[in-house]
Each structure stands twice: as C-alpha cells, then as structure tokens.
Structure 1
C-alpha cells in the first residue's frame, strides 16, 4: 500500500470510517486525509468507493449539512456557502440540493437581523453613505446578495 511500516488498507478504511462518522465529509476532505495518512494515489479510488458503498461518504448529504449548518450557526449567506462548497469541489448538483436546506423566510429574517445589527453598531457614523457602504460591505462579506438588502436602506431613518 504505502511505504513499509505504514497502515494496511483495512486500517486506513477503519480510520476513514471513523473520520466520516464523526462529521459529514466531502470527497476532497477524504482525499486530503488519505494523503495525510500517506496512502498512495492509486489506492484512493478503492477506499473512497468502499466509503460510498457503506454510506460513510455521501456528498449530497454533506452539502445539505454544510449549507444548513453554516447558515444557521455562522449566519452565512448563499454566495459564501456556494463559494465554500465549490472550493471543496462539491458537484453543482449537490450544491443546488444543499442550498434547498435554507428556508427562504429564515434567510430573509437573518439578513434583516444582520443588517440591523451592523447598521445600529455604526451609530457614531454621521455620514449616511459611509454607513451604507460599511453595512453593504459587511453583508456582502457574509455572502448575502445586494439585491436582497438594498431595499432595507430605504426603510432606515435618513
């Protein structure tokens, strides 16, 4: 398998089963772990196939857990979640499926909550345009779509 004195395929599989059981993982996480364990590239496919077969590795399930979790826990917007999933090389189909985990009403509520928090934290700023830019920059950095929050500026006091 790898160099002498390293893990057997069965040991590697057991380690990765535990790794995947602990938390949802995507394929790229597992590949990185295989490299970490010193497993040769030619061995990766059989181990990944075994993990998929035994349902330890399911990219669609990962995308759903990632999208839902990062929205609820970290209050990330869609753009940031999609970018993060793309960086993890998750397929467009799984990304689309994962994004369905985000409830539209909850999304709007979180956006409004973050908008109000940021806007109110800038009370000392007298220039409305600077306040608007800082609030916009914050929401964009969190991954929210400008077309969804631009109307909120009209609702705030001038």
Structure 2
C-alpha cells in the first residue's frame, strides 16, 4: 500500500484550519484584490514598493510610494496609514521585511502576495521612465479572454 505524502501529517481540525486561514487574510492581500481596489477607488491603504531605486526605475505600480526597506522610519508615512507592501515577487521576502518594519513602527500592514512579478504577469499597468504601459497577461497566471476574471 502506498502512503500518502499529503496525508502523512493529518489535516487540522476544521475550526483550527478556519482560524489559520482567516489569520492569513489579516496579513496578506493578492495582486488582483489590490488592483481592484485601486481601479475602483476603494483604496484606504498606501501601496509601498520596498525595492531599490534601480528596481523602481525599471518599473513599478502606478500610484505606489517608493520607500526602500532601509528608509522605513517613524514618520515615513502619515500616522494611522494602512500599508500594503510589495517587492519583486514570491521568491523575494523584501515585502515581508518591509511589512515587519512598518508593523514594528505601529502601522497596520499587509503584504501583497506575488509582488511586482505577478502584478506585471497579470497584465496590470506598470510605470517606468517612459510612462505607463500594460503587458499581455501571462496565460499561466491570469485569465486572458476579454472580460474574464479569475473568480477566486
């Protein structure tokens, strides 16, 4: 009999799992939700790009504030701001470091999962020295049919 690698550690009790996944929502936002809030004007948060000046110049999310992690100090943003941090992508923990820095200073903060990589791979607007542009969505990460949405 083959033993399941997935189930060799049993799943959590449903109530414990629900609490865990709810907690994750208090710490994380995905690029589609951040994009939807920016597009609708819902806002309520400051989007912070924590990458270097060179990375920022290469491309960033329009409307984001550029604040490299080492520059995050008390008063860097208005008191009471809710902050959403991003960095390069899922292989980089720069947004996590920035979120930690903001939380340590008393800000409410979330990390944008996927970072700049998934923002651009989903075909959302990117700004650089030449202006704002949109790339085609990557069919491996985003719906490509006109009007299609992820639905998650």
Pairwise same-fold verdict (TM > 0.5): no
Which has more helix, going by share of residues?
Answer: 1
Which has more strand, going by share of residues?
Answer: 2
Q: Which category describes the TM-score, using the shorter chain as reference length?
A: under 0.3
Q: TM-score, normalised by structure 1?
A: 0.24
Q: TM-score, normalised by structure 2?
A: 0.24
